[in-house]
Chain A
Amino acid sequence: MSALPPPAQALNDAQIAEMLTPQAMWRDPALVRSALIALLSSIVVFGGLAWLISGTEGWESVQRSFFNWEHFRASFPKIWDGFKLNIKIFMIAEPIILGIGLLLAVIRASRGPALFPLRAFAVVYTDLFRGAPVLLVILTLGFGVPALRIDGIPNTPLVWGTVAIILSSSAYQAETFRAGIGTVHGSQRAAARALGLSSTQAMRYVVLPQAIRRVIPPTLSGFVGLQKETALISVLGPLEATRQAQIYGSLHFNYTSYVVAGLLFISITIPLARFTDYLLNRSEERRSMGGAV
């Protein structure tokens, strides 16, 4: 006979209530210990890095040219003005990207033989603009199209740079939507068709709403990427944040302006990234709860 533990006494109501009362975090020794360890290791790592970098021979001059408070203040207004242009480009481009991306994805998911030319076009489009480096597309369109001097179309590099970004990002966004459509099980479509919905209606009311919900996190991640890509338009000359930082830097032989521009971008992209994480966590939780969506 192995020694079985004696039968346990059932907990009384008060004990159960105590067991279920949420404990304050600092009263849990395990949590306190892990918090302390995290704090200590952060101090060691970041302190060590700071000590290493500030101990280098060139640190003094780097600090002067990259982290100068005077230059920070002096360059900020112009860069901030430029950054507003980045935001504007983003705000105009993103809805168009979502629209084109969705359209391309739906075209590629279509089945009718009559739509074959459209499908072929969508495939070429995504392959082309996903394959070509964004910078090349921006340079080609931004310098090339205005040089054609076609009457009646806008001829500024800013417009064509934005178009280039739209072309490139919408190809990525189309793939994201297409992946989302792929995750909706075929039985959903079958159920919709069995109810008499046309294949367009099945797509519109049954497949797409589910697909779009599932790709919200990667789409937001694409927003973050786009916000950064607007900086590439600077190669064409428009006075957005990066360009302004460049101008300030070469006028004053000081690069603090780049740090300013970087901080501005980060101030937008980090909250977006955290929001994406939050949505991802939430959908993960729902899935583990066995819920749909």
Chain B
Amino acid sequence: MSDPILSIRGLYKAYDQNLVLRNINLDVAEHEVICLIGASGCGKSTLLRCINLLEEVNAGAIVLDGMPISSDAPNLNRIRQRVGMVFQSFNLFPHMTVIDNVTLAPRKVLGVKRSEAESAGLALLDRFGLVDKAREYPDRLSGGQQQRVAIIRALALQPQVLLLDEVTSALDPEMVGEVLEIIAELKHLGMTMLLATHQMAFARQIADRVAFLDAGVILEIGSPEEIFTNPREPRTRQFLERIIGAEPGGALPVTATH
């Protein structure tokens, strides 16, 4: 197996005195899709924000493509541009049209000419069925469309790793599907992804590996099969029983191995 594209070693993160991530170790291979699951507040989002260097870590190392990265790196913006991030609340720029949202970073960070950035952006929008919205402002789009634009905006920088932070949690149920579809297509295209998600059925279907976080620790990591049908840890089993029991119509067979 080739070297992982992203390695996390002994990562600790605290807010004030409150330790939210402890000793996180994780290797992500190229083209691999890892789903982070766990209760709200378990540290999934914080981990993604740390990888994107939006948060300063207290200890540990993050290695991207063989190069250690940290939030005080001098080439911070170059690094960030190689790690795409999509947020729960879309965070599109409301004063810019869709195409301007998509081309802002290529133009300003990579220095691509406007005409080139636009044709590349339009091609991306076209591929994901949003080219007719290119000149619209975000507030004219549905939540699902906005989130798809946010994903495309991250893709426009051709990141090596894409981080998705509960990207369907703020959506109306009927719009979740279109966003999950785009993610499935990205997996098909070989994008390396790290997803924090509450969509267990989707995680099971798309993930190469699933990591269960509990109180800031990766308690268990394995294939979806292992995690969802035969979790080792009782905490994992409890969590899955609770969440899948509560998921309308989404009952997955959790073979309880008491």
Over the window 16-50 of chain B, the binary record of Cβ atoms lying under 8 Å from chain A Cβ atoms (1 yes, 0 no) is 00000000000000000000000000000000000
The answer to whether B105 touches A293, judged by C-beta atoms less than 8 angstroms apart, is no
Q: How far is the CB of B108 from chain A (nearest CB, A)?
A: 5
* Cα(A150)–Cα(B84), bound, Å: 58
Residue B128 CB within 8 A of the other chain: no
Collect the chain A residues with CB atoms within 8 Å of residue B78's CB. Answer: 196
Seed contacts A205-B93, A293-B139; 17 additional CB < 8 Å A-B pairs: A187-B89, A190-B87, A194-B54, A194-B85, A195-B104, A195-B154, A196-B77, A197-B104, A201-B109, A205-B108, A206-B93, A210-B95, A292-B94, A292-B137, A292-B138, A292-B139, A293-B94
* Cα(A187)–Cα(B90), bound, Å: 9
* Cα(A190)–Cα(B89), bound, Å: 12
Q: Considering the complex, which residues of chain B in the window 45-99 have a beta carbon less than 8 Å from any beta carbon of chain A? A: 52, 54, 77-78, 80-81, 84-85, 87, 89, 91-95
Interface on B for A, CB 8 Å cutoff? 52, 54, 77-78, 80-81, 84-85, 87, 89, 91-95, 104-105, 108-109, 137-139, 153-154, 157
Over the window 170-206 of chain A, the binary record of Cβ atoms lying under 8 Å from chain B Cβ atoms (1 yes, 0 no) is 0000000000000000011011111111100100011
* Cα(A243)–Cα(B101), bound, Å: 53
The answer to whether A290 touches B139, judged by C-beta atoms less than 8 angstroms apart, is yes
Q: How many A-B residue pairs lie within 8 Å, measured between CB atoms?
A: 66
Nearest B residue to A208, CB-CB:
B95
Q: How far is the CB of A95 from chain B (nearest CB, A)?
A: 22
Collect the chain B residues with CB atoms within 8 Å of residue A188's CB. Answer: 91, 93
Residue A291 CB within 8 A of the other chain: yes
Residue A154 CB within 8 A of the other chain: no
* Cα(A196)–Cα(B138), bound, Å: 21
- Among B52, B78, B104, the most chain A Cβ lie within 10 Å of the Cβ of B104
Among B89, B94, B137, B157, contact of A196 (Cβ-Cβ < 8 Å): B157
* Cα(A188)–Cα(B94), bound, Å: 9
